[in-house]
């Protein structure tokens, strides 16, 4: 199922490259199908979206938008325990993200110059939320709450209609808790296109966030530029760095918590303790017997799982920075010892009692994270993703006269004489 590898530097690099090859590929047929859907929605509006709902979802909608009353009725079907857990998680997420909020600023100078920056939330954001077996209410919270904190004017959610037009009540409940303004029952590439271009009943948005299948991801990629997007998410990943103090039962459970997402999910343990590596593999086999998604876990661990035995923890840290995983657990005696050296990870989980699902659901840090090695240069979803910055400049006449010579020199060096002239005409007053 999962292999134990005594890896050299060359072998580790080869393994990383092999993992990265599994992401970012879209077959030409899918690209063409998505392009056709996008064009149909751009030109056909509501009727095209409804036609694709009939084709792909088996649902013939009279209208695409859920009313507030319908949302509240669906939410009422959820258990009280779930709703309370949802509210507690939302409070943690709001608290964490409220600390990220930036303020506009104005910087007056003694010579009368005024510089500054205006920060505002985007006017309208679209949030795509998968339905069916991939329906995750936690993703509603993670995508919507940072937008609310940022001050986005309107948040529009799209989620597949489900069988006979009945969406997942848990997703709708999360939308109410998070503060979604409008909900449309539509899924797939047609939903992304409708949000990007707008239709008769669906408003055009400035940005689209949220996970989805290959058609959703491809539509987001093709529409980038028409609308802003968050990121193109790949299969889920976890890397665990562990020393001899770690509990193999915990390690096995955490590896499988990510492997159950997708047969292409990656789950890797790296340790300097061979005995721990062997004990973790044994624990994997024992725990696997009780898990509902056993088949998916086995396929993921067989294809993209590994237990790597390294010489020392310095090698483990180097491997982590090379891999740049989505989730990185540090199960060591002193996990904070490593924090300052772990530069490339979506989110870092420190210690034996900070498992990855804590971040997925409850702690407050965002679970929308870069995958496929992109944590080298991408960050988790945050309030920053939902704001627009504009700078402003005010110069007095005297201040401009003082800078005129330098501006003219720079403009003429670049052979932009009209730029220089814009300054020169003011010198002639």
Domain locations in the chain as residue ranges:
3-24+235-363, 28-229, 395-427
First to last CA, the chain: 81
* Tokens (6 digits) for 358: 């804590």
CA dihedral 44, 49, 55, 58 (to 10 degrees): -150
Catalytic residue chosen out of the listed positions 260, 298, 315, 326: 326
Instruction: Find out whether 132 and 162 touch, Cβ atoms under 8 Å.
Output: yes
Q: Which positions make up the binding site for NAD(+)?
A: 128, 190, 213
376 φ/ψ angles, rounded to the nearest 5 degrees: -65, -30
Tell me the binding residues for Zn(2+): 258, 261, 360, 419
- Residue 1's Cβ-side half-sphere holds a number of Cα atoms within 13 Å equal to 24
Coil vs helix vs strand at 126 = strand
Distance of alpha carbon 12 from alpha carbon 360, whole angstroms = 28
Residue 404 CB partners (closer than 8 Å, separation 6+): 423, 424, 426, 427
As a dihedral over the C-alpha atoms of residue 196, residue 200, residue 202, residue 203, rounded to 10 degrees, the angle is 70
pLDDT of residue 21: 74
- Computed on alpha carbons and rounded to an integer, the radius of gyration of the chain in Å comes to 25
The one-digit pLDDT tens for each residue of the chain (429 residues) are: 788 887 777 777 777 777 777 766 678 999 999 999 999 999 999 999 999 999 998 888 889 999 999 999 999 999 999 999 999 999 999 999 999 999 999 999 999 999 999 999 999 999 999 986 667 999 999 999 999 999 999 999 999 998 778 899 999 999 999 999 999 999 999 999 999 999 999 999 999 999 998 999 999 999 999 999 998 888 899 999 999 999 999 999 999 999 999 999 999 999 999 999 999 999 999 999 999 999 999 999 999 999 999 999 999 999 999 999 999 999 999 999 999 999 999 999 999 999 999 999 999 999 999 999 999 999 999 999 999 999 999 999 999 999 999 999 999 999 999 999 999 999 986
Please identify which residue in the block is written with the tokens 């998968």: 130
- From CA 333, how far away is CA 245, in angstroms rounded? 6
User: Which pLDDT does position 132 carry in this prediction?
Assistant: 67
Q: What is the pLDDT of residue 164?
A: 76
Tokens 């009353």 found at: 69
Contact status, residue 180 vs residue 205, Cβ threshold 8 Å? no
CATH of domain 3-24+235-363: 3.40.50.1980
Handedness of CA 34, 297, 168, 150 (dihedral sign): negative
The superfamily in CATH containing domain 28-229 is Nitrogenase molybdenum iron protein domain (3.40.50.1980)
Give CA angle at 19 (333, 265), nearest 5°. 75
Q: How far apart are CA 345 and CA 319, in angstroms?
A: 11
* CA–CA separation, 17 and 58 (whole Å): 41
What's 67's DSSP letter? P
**Is 237 an annotated catalytic residue?**
no
pTM: 0.93
Three-state DSSP class for residue 151: coil
Residue 27 is predicted with a pLDDT of 85
Q: Is there a common fold for 3-24+235-363 and 28-229?
A: yes
Query: What is the predicted pLDDT for the residue at 11?
Result: 77
C-alpha span between 116 and 110 (Å, rounded): 14
* Residue appearing with tokens 């529009």: 156
Is 326 considered catalytic here?
A: yes
pLDDT score of 134 = 64
HSE-up (13 A, CA, CB side) for residue 44: 15
Q: Quick one: pLDDT at residue 24?
A: 60
Q: Rounded to whole angstroms, how far apart are CA atoms 405 and 410?
A: 9
Compute the distance between CA of residue 47 and CA of residue 54 in angstroms, rounded to an integer: 11
Binding positions: 128, 190, 213, 236, 258, 261, 327, 360, 414, 419
3-state SS, residue 365: coil
Sheet hosting strand 114-121, strand order edge to edge = 105-108, 114-121, 387-394
Strands (E), 230-285: 237-242, 266-271
DSSP letter (8 states) at residue 53: I
DSSP state of 142: H
Catalytic residue among 97, 237, 315, 327: 327
């Amino acid at each position: 199922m999962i292999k134990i590898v005594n890896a050299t530097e060359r072998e580790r690099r080869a393994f990383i490259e092999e993992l990265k090859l599994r992401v970012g590929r879209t077959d030409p047929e899918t690209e063409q199908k998505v392009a056709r859907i996008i064009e149909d929605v751009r030109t056909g509006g509501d009727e095209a979206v409804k036609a694709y709902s009939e084709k792909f979802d088996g649902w013939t909608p009279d209208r695409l938008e859920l009313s507030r009353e319908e949302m509240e009725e669906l939410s009422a079907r959820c258990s009280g325990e779930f709703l309370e857990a949802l509210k507690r998680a939302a409070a943690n997420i709001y608290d964490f993200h409220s600390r990220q909020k930036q303020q506009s600023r104005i910087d007056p100078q003694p010579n009368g110059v005024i510089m500054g920056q205006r920060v505002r939330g985007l006017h309208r954001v679209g949030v795509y939320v998968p339905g069916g077996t991939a329906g995750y209410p936690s993703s509603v919270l993670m995508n919507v709450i940072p937008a609310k904190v940022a001050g986005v004017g309107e948040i529009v959610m799209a989620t597949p209609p489900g069988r006979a037009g009945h969406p997942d009540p848990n997703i709708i409940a999360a939308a109410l808790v998070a503060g979604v303004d409008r909900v449309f029952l539509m899924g797939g590439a047609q939903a992304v296109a409708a949000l990007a271009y707008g239709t008769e009943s669906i408003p055009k948005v400035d940005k689209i966030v949220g996970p989805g299948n290959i058609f959703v991801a491809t539509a987001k990629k093709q529409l980038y530029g028409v609308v802003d997007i968050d990121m193109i998410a790949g299969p889920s990943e976890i890397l665990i760095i562990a020393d001899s103090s770690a509990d193999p039962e915990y390690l096995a459970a955490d590896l499988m918590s990510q492997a159950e997402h997708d047969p292409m999910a990656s789950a890797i343990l790296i340790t300097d303790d061979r005995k721990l590596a062997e004990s973790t593999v044994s624990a994997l086999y024992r725990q696997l017997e009780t898990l509902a998604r056993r088949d998916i876990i086995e396929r993921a661990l067989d294809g993209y799982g590994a237990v790597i035995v390294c010489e020392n923890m310095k090698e483990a840290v180097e491997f982590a920075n090379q891999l740049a995983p989505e989730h990185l657990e540090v199960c060591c005696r002193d996990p904070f010892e490593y924090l300052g050296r772990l530069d490339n990870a979506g989110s870092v989980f420190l210690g034996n009692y900070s498992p990855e699902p804590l971040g997925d659901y409850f702690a407050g840090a965002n679970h929308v994270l870069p995958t496929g090695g992109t944590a080298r240069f991408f960050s988790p979803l945050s309030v920053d993703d939902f704001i627009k910055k504009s700078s402003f400049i005010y110069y007095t006449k005297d201040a401009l006269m003082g800078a005129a010579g330098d501006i003219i020199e720079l403009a003429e060096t670049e052979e932009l004489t009209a730029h220089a002239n814009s300054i020169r005409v003011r010198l002639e007053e």
